[in-house]
Amino acid sequence: MESGPAIFAGTAFALFGAALLLWTGVRVAHGEPVAQGVATRVAATLTTIFGMVFLLLGVWCFGRV
């Protein structure tokens, strides 16, 4: 019964983390700004860190199932 919310949360976290990493990679590869008004290196670093955190949260949620 409790595995349903864990699966949903894990899927949401994993999809968001993967999409954030993909989006950041495409923006950096094309030389476009990642965030408006922020240095590209700082924004790329922070979004990569948060993308990895969300992916790890998704894996953790799947591990709780």
Whether the pLDDT of residue 4 is over 90: the answer is: no
Assess contact for 63 and 13: CB atoms under 8 A: no
For 19-55, the pLDDT digits (tens) are 999 999 999 999 999 999 999 999 999 999 999 999 9
Is the confidence at residue 56, as pLDDT, over 80? yes
| DSSP labels, 3-64 | HHHHHHHHHHHHHHHHHHHHHHHHHHHTT--SSTTS-HHHHHHHHHHHHHHHHHHHHHHHHT
Q: Which pLDDT score, from 0 to 100, does residue 49 have?
A: 97
Helix (H, G, I), strand (E, B) or coil at 5: helix
